[in-house]
Amino acid sequence: MMPTWRLLVTEATDGATNMAIDEALWRGRQAGTSPPTVRFFAWEPPTVSLGYGQRLDAAVDVAACQRLGVGLVRRPTGGSAIYHDGPERELTYSVVASNDDLGVAADLLETYRWIAVALLRGLRALGAPAEIVAVPDSEGPAPAFCFARTGRYEIEIGGKKVVGSAQRWRRRCFLQHGSVLLGVDEPRLRAVFPTTRDPLATMTTLEAALGQRPKFDDVAAALTTAFEEEHGLTLRPGGLTPEETARVEALVKDKYAAEAWLAGAA
C-alpha cells in the first residue's frame, strides 16, 4: 500500500502567514498530529524572505521594498534571501516530513536529493531540460541573494539556477522550502537586491527555458504527479486542521509579523 501524504495548495497570501503555515505544519509533524505534507503556494504582496540566520543589511534595500510594496519576512529555514512573487511568476513549495516518512537516513543532503529528484521529474515533464547539481562548482560563504549560487542537489537549466531551496531540522523532522521561478520581474529584483551585481547572470526561469510562461496550476499538477510517481506516494488534497489554523494565527501575531523576528533579535 502506497504511503499517503497531504497535498496542500493554498491561495497567495502575505509572507508572515505563509511562513506561519509552514511552521505550524512542521510543529504538527514533530508532535505527530500533522501528516507529512507537500504544499504549493505563492505570495501576495510580493515578498523578500530572509534566511533564518541571515542579517538584514544593505544587501536588501528596505526602502525600495517599502516604495514598491514588497513585503519582508524571515523564514524558519536557512539559506539566503529570495524575492518571491505571485502565482503568475512563481510557485513556492514546502515539504514537511521526517526522515522515516522518506525512508532515508536523517541526513540533510539525502533529504535534499529525495526532493530534488521529484522536482526534476516534474520540470522535465513540463519540457524543461533541467539538471540536478550534485556537486556545485564553488562553495564558501553564502551570498546574500539565493539565486547567486547553486547549492548541492539544487536544480539548474543551462547552467543557471531555476529552483532555490533551504531546509531546517528539528526532532528528526524537517521543513524544506523551495522557489520555482516561472518568470521574473527584473526591475523589482534589481531594486531590492542593490548589491547583487547582476542577479540574472546566475538564474533562469521556466519561461526562458520553455519559450512561454507555464501556469502555476500546471506546474503544481506536474510536480504532484512527479512526487507520486518518483516515490510511490499518494498525495491526497486537504486543508489545515482547526489546531493548525489556530497555531498559524498565533505564529503570525507573536512571531512572523513582529519586528523583532524580522530583525533577527527574536
CA proximity to 154, closest of 174, 125, 128, 180: 180
User: How big is the chain by its Cα radius of gyration, in Å?
Assistant: 17
Q: How many residues does the chain have?
A: 266
Q: List the one residue out of 212, 172, 214, 164 whose CA is nearest residue 189.
A: 164
First to last CA, the chain: 44
Neighbouring C-beta atoms of residue 90, cutoff 10 Å: 26
Instruction: Give the residue numbers marked as catalytic.
Output: 146
Alpha helices in 45-148 (DSSP H): 62-68, 99-102, 108-125
